Structure 1
Amino acid sequence: MTDPEFAGWVTSHLPPIPAGALLQAETRPRCDTYNDGLMLNLRGINMNKDAVADEMISLRLWVADDVLITVRRRKVFAVDAIRAACEAGNAPKDPATFLEWLVDGLTTRVENHIDTIEQLTDFYETDLEDTDTLPPRDLPVTRRSIIRLRRYLEPQRHALAKLAAINLPIMPEPNAMQLREIANRSTIAVEELDELRDRLTSIQGEHDNHVAQRQARHSYVLSVAAALFLPLSFITGLFGVNLAGMIGADHPHAFAILCLSMLGLSVAMVAILRWIRWI
């Protein structure tokens, strides 16, 4: 699609609507008929080197009885697998078979990626057994990945269902039957994404609860300590004013008596806090 001569070639060889569909800058999965041809936009997992998998690659197609055009900006491994089969002498016999192989390859790679996310989710759930474990740093990244995947896989599910039900001469019933099975797999993939999204939300909520409980426990300990030391601080402040007439200033055992009194007060405070069920 980055070929500078591509736009001119498409507009001169295809009707305006299919040509425009192939040249669109932004696309979403779709499946529409035009006369006896088929306009199809699909998305595939980005498996290119140093790429983010959930940045799904757009693949535009125009399919007719005598021509099949695929357009993409980046490498789509499902298309390359078909090319390798052609070079090995095992090319698809017709456009319908090509579409069947292509959709199966795209869906299989989506399923494999979702399996990877599910393994991560299982790992996150195992971590929850230890309440002192901090939330995984990549948990928000995984949640955002699911959101981006679902953005394209939900409309792709509808596009594949429409493709399987389409009534065109280029789509014989045996191929349509296989496409219906693949469309069902795509629906299951979207449902699994929904489940994983809910599980990750629950995991995040559990971690947030653990953090809140730890903070509440620490605040509780500080509150109890403050309740114990508040009267003691008052007494030490009162006896530290260094003014004439302070009780016990000339008594040799005054300091010991003060310390024992404060110890007794502390014991009494602990007893009172237990009695009112603060501790």
Structure 2
Amino acid sequence: MPLCVFDIYPDGTAEVPQDESLTGPGTYRWWHFDLADPALPGWVAANLPPIPAGALLQPETRPRCDRFADGIILNLRGINLNAGEDADEMVSVRLWVDSDVIITVRMRKVFTIDDIRRQTEADNPPPTTADFLEVLISRLTQRIEQEVVKIADITEFYEDDLEDETTPIPKDLSETRRRVIRLRRYLEPQQAALDRLIEINMPIIPEPDTLRIRESANRTTIAVEELNALRERLITVQDEHDLYVARKQARHGYVLSIAAAVFLPLSFLTGLFGVNVGGMPGVGSPWAFTLLCLGMTLLVLVLLVLLKWLRWL
């Protein structure tokens, strides 16, 4: 059934309960499940109202925060630290929070939840459900900030490379832009969900905890703003590289156009004097080829002077 379940007591201790009741004798009872558990749908249907039960079982989620009766439906996203998976493919955690029970459901391993689990096993659990939320949100936000800093460092490296126009476009630039897009996809609704959470006036989240959650919400807002700035900076980097390529192509096209302008008359002359018919001048003169070459050389000089006078060169 559950991946773990603990009764949290007021003295800061925690123990694994022996009964299967939704709540226990402590301050609150924490249940943690895997969404793939086939017994989970029946358990939540037996212990929760239909709406929060359905929210815990949704296969696809987006960050949300809604009040239901005396509890809170909360979906959050965290950085994916699972081996072989992309960090920006954020993992979800579904929560039902009441004054005396917390239910968390995951689809993939959420390392922040595992941190709280180890902390609880060491008899150092969050003492209340509000503290649990504050610790969870704070640690999720911390890992998000670390990921944003990594992208910011990569972006700064790209910008430094722009000083040397001969540097080719980074091969992973488009992937970095996709990382920003994927993070923004979840962090913007997560920012809204946290703003909603701190606005909920409920006894299970007293004022001191609300202030701490507000700080995490503010950090999430800063992360979203930084991602917006990184998106624009990465677009600028891409535009600079595209502009350099366009200028290089234009310069090559310009050189080819000048060459065509010079050699087109010469091609006409060589084609004209290469006609194999009678009556061509100079056929019997040994100096005819020399004079033709000198004439074409003079024509090239005249064309170059003309192009220079027209400021095409």
* TM bucket, shorter chain: over 0.9
**What amino acid does structure 2 have at the position aligned with 1:3?**
D
Residue 189 (structure 2) pairs with residue 139 (structure 1)? no
Distance apart, 1:253 and its partner CA: 1.2
Q: Which is worse superposed, 74-83 or 132-141?
A: 132-141
**Partners of 1:252 and 1:166 in 2: CA distance:** 103
* 2:73 match: secondary structure: strand
Task: Quote the residue 2:193 is aligned against.
Answer: 159
Alignment of 1:158-197 (within 5 A): 158-197=192-231
Once the two structures are superposed, what CA deviation does each residue of 1:169-196 show, in whole Å capped at 9, x if it has no partner? 1111111110011100000000000000
Task: Quote the residue 2:122 is aligned against.
Answer: 88
**What amino acid does structure 1 have at the position aligned with 2:259?**
A
Number of equivalences:
279
Task: Quote the residue 2:45 is aligned against.
Answer: 11
Once the two structures are superposed, what CA deviation does each residue of 1:206-246 show, in whole Å capped at 9, x if it has no partner? 11111110110000000000000000001111111122221
**What amino acid does structure 2 have at the position aligned with 1:206?**
E
**What amino acid does structure 1 have at the position aligned with 2:308?**
R
Residue 138 (structure 2) pairs with residue 104 (structure 1)? yes
Q: Which of the numbers 239, 244, 258 marks the counterpart of 1:224?
A: 258
Q: Which of the numbers 40, 64, 70 marks the counterpart of 2:74?
A: 40
Q: Which of the numbers 264, 274, 286 marks the counterpart of 1:240?
A: 274
Which blocks of at least 5 consecutive residues in structure 2 are unaligned?
1-34
Task: Quote the residue 1:256 is aligned against.
Answer: 290
Task: Quote the residue 1:53 is aligned against.
Answer: 87
* 1:238 match: secondary structure: helix
Please give the TM-score of this superposition, normalised by the length of structure 1.
0.98
Distance apart, 1:133 and its partner CA: 1.9
Q: Which is worse superposed, 237-246 or 185-194?
A: 237-246
Distance apart, 1:138 and its partner CA: 1.1
Q: Which of the numbers 97, 118, 129 marks the counterpart of 1:63?
A: 97
Which blocks of at least 5 consecutive residues in structure 1 are unaligned?
none
**What amino acid does structure 1 have at the position aligned with 2:165?**
T
Residue 20 (structure 2) pairs with residue 22 (structure 1)? no
**Partners of 1:17 and 1:73 in 2: CA distance:** 19
**Partners of 1:26 and 1:134 in 2: CA distance:** 39
* 1:135 match: secondary structure: coil
**Partners of 2:277 and 2:99 in 1: CA distance:** 108
Larger strand fraction of residues? 2
Distance apart, 1:164 and its partner CA: 1.8
Distance apart, 1:267 and its partner CA: 0.7
Distance apart, 1:165 and its partner CA: 2.3
**Partners of 2:74 and 2:276 in 1: CA distance:** 91
* 1:41 match: secondary structure: strand
Task: Quote the residue 2:243 is aligned against.
Answer: 209
Residue 125 (structure 2) pairs with residue 78 (structure 1)? no
* 2:195 match: secondary structure: helix
* 2:55 match: secondary structure: helix
* 2:67 match: secondary structure: strand
Larger helix fraction of residues? 1
State, as a whole percentage, how many aligned pairs show the same letter: 59
* 2:292 match: secondary structure: helix
Task: Quote the residue 1:126 is aligned against.
Answer: 160
Please give the TM-score of this superposition, normalised by the length of structure 2.
0.88
